[in-house]
Structure 1
Amino acid sequence: MIVFLVLLAAYLLGSVVFGVIYSHLRGDEVRGRDMPGGSGMFRQYGLGPALTISALDILKGVLAAYLAVRFAPGWAWAAMFLVIIGHCYPVFFRFNGGGGIAPMLGAMLVIAPKTLLLMILLSLIVMPLYKSTIQKKVGLNVIPFMSAVVLPISVVASLWLGGTLALIAATLGMAARSVQLLIEDGKLGRKAA
């Protein structure tokens, strides 16, 4: 029973998409023109809301992973997966949420800090390269592009660092979501970050 409650809590935590809540409090709907995560908040509302939303989304990932590690340690990977799925497909917002990157970062901080460090280092290389080379030609947002490149590399690194197949599955799920966002990004013509 405790495992079920922890996993349900992870999904419900993920479903609290702070960017959507913030835009609704402003009498707006951010999802019609941008993603409800940190980069979308920055483009639409400025630095303060972007930092706040990013921190809250990371913290919900930390909380979901912490609850799992504390009360259902063998299921921490599933809690990570569900907090990400909740953020991407939130029950409270008609299953239309964000990209899941911030809650993934928070969960990985608790569950797989070495893999997270590698992902951050790779991102610091991929993002500026993409922005300075092909972004203007293809016009896609840097965050989903970076995720689609960095996450699969991180899967291989996770195996090397002793990650579990379950953690790898969760990371692959994020890579798939990033590819989906890249496709949507191209269709919606969102402003490049």
Structure 2
Amino acid sequence: MIDDILDELQLENQLKVEDIPDLELYMDQVIQLFERTFASSKRNDDEKVLTKTMINNYAKGKLFFPIKNKKYSKEHILLISMIYQLKGALSIKDIKTTLEQLNGKIENKEIELEDLYQHFLRLSNNNIDRFTEDSKVCSTEVKIEANQLNGVQTEYIEQLLLVSSFVQMSNLYRRAAERLVDEIANTNHSEE
């Protein structure tokens, strides 16, 4: 069961630096790039990976530095990709707090975003490997627990326990991430 689920998740889908053209893109082109890259990761065909409204909200929320002439640079696209990954667990406010210093460093040319993004992707790949292994271990533990139930063992019970375990792990990681965001916010306020 777990191997099929992991295969269906298409965890390896990532927007790579080399996938992004070296020229600036209009919003529709950015959306097409994301749709092509992450289409197989969608839960269903009705789900949108990225929309104009999302990008406009990111811009209004100052999640990335201002665009010029309605065109998005490679740096904008890399930031949007990072936002895409972060938005699954963090609020827009937390994402802004997390990326605020990075945006300033990009604008002041203090950091090479492509290099940072390559490290981000390597860590993402490591996380995929870790998640795959942890999911298999969790699935085995769930089977053991489900088998210990008195005559109630069904596929549904295993699924229920596995969903509960995944959600709890997700919540624990989210809470840890939020704590780090709070530390970033406190550091930003103390530097002002």
TM-score, normalized by length of structure 1?
0.27
**Could you say which structure has the larger radius of gyration?**
2
TM-score, normalized by length of structure 2?
0.27
